Amino acid sequence: MSNWNDAEVVKQQYATETNLNIRIAIHEKYSTNKMGFGNWIFSNYEISDGMKVLELGCGTGDMWKDKEAMIASCSKLVLSDFSAGMVKVSKETVGIHDNVEYQVIDIQDIPFGDETFDIVIANMMLYHVPDLDRAISEVRRVLKKGGKFYCATYGEHGITEYLTKLFSKYGIEDSINKNFTLQNGDEILGKFFSKVEKLEYVDSLRVTEVDDMVEYIYSLSCMMPLRNVPKQDIKNILLQHTSDGILNVPKEYGMFRAE
C-alpha cells in the first residue's frame, strides 16, 4: 500500500509541475509586456547601500537569482517563508552569502525587534494570511521610521474573471481570493501606513494560437468543471472572441509601496 501511495504522490507532484510549466510558457510566449513581472517588481525597489532588508514569503528565492549586486548592497538580507521546505529551496537557489540569512517566519509574528529593517517585502502572499491586520501591524513594527513596505499582488479583473465570464454556462464561478488585491490593498494598508502608493504593471496576453489557451485553461484548478467539456468546444468559444486571429486576454498585476 505504501508503494502505491508513494507513486500517487509522485504522480500528483508531476501533474502540478506540468500544469505550472504550461502556465509559465503561456505568459512567456504571449505577454505583451516583455520586461517580466519579477523584473518589474525589482525595478521599483529603492534599496540603498547598507540597508537591512526582510522578505516574507520568499518562496523558492527565484526572484533573487542574478541579483548579486542588489544582494551585496544590503548590510543584511533575511529571506524567510512560512514553509521550512521553501526556505531550504531558497537557500539552494540564492546560495551562501555573508550578509544573507534564511529563516522560517510567520508574518503574523515576526521575530525581530522594533524598527529593525529599512525595507520589508511580501509579494503575492498577503491574501493567504489568516489575520491580515495583525500581519501588517507586525510589518509596520519592524520597519524603521521612513522605511518602506513593498507588496505585490493581483487585481480582480484579470485572466480569471475573463475566463469565468466566457465559461459561466458550464458552472465556472469567480473563485479568486479577494482578501488583498489591487482593488482593496490601499485601504487595508492605509490603516497602518500614512502613505500608500499603487503601482500597476501594464500587461495582457495576445494569443495567436488558441490551442495553447485551451491547454492553459485545462491546467487551472479553478476551471476544473471544464475538464469534462471537449477541448474543441472550449476552442470554439475562444475563437468566437478573437479579432483578426488574436485572442486578447486581460492581466492585472501590480504592487503597493507603503511608508
Give average pLDDT by consecutive 10-residue segment, the chain, 259 residues: 38 54 90 95 96 96 93 98 93 96 98 98 96 98 98 96 94 91 98 98 97 93 89 96 97 97
Distance CA 46, CA 2 (A): 51
Q: Are strands 143-154 and 253-258 parallel, antiparallel or unpaired?
A: antiparallel
The letter for the amino acid at 66 is D
Phi-psi region of 177 (alpha: psi -120 to 50; beta: other; left: phi over 0): beta
Q: What is the pLDDT of residue 80?
A: 97
- Identify the pLDDT of residue 17: 61
**CB contact at 8 A, 251 and 203:** yes
Cell representation of residue 45: 525597489
pLDDT of residue 37: 93
Q: Hey, what domains does the chain have and what are their CATH numbers?
A: 2-258 (3.40.50.150)
Cβ atoms of 208 and 32 within 8 Å: the answer is no
Considering only CA atoms, which of 78, 71, 84, 81 is closest in space to residue 112? 78
d(CA 48, CA 136) in angstroms, rounded, equals: 23
Write the DSSP string, 47-116.
--TT-EEEEES-TTSGGGTT-HHHHHH-SEEEEEES-HHHHHHHHHHH---TTEEEEE--TTS--S-TT-
In this predicted structure, what is the pLDDT of residue 174?
86
pLDDT at position 14, please? 41
Q: How many CB atoms lie within 10 A of CB 223?
A: 20
37, amino acid identity: F
Contact 137, 111 (CB under 8 A): no
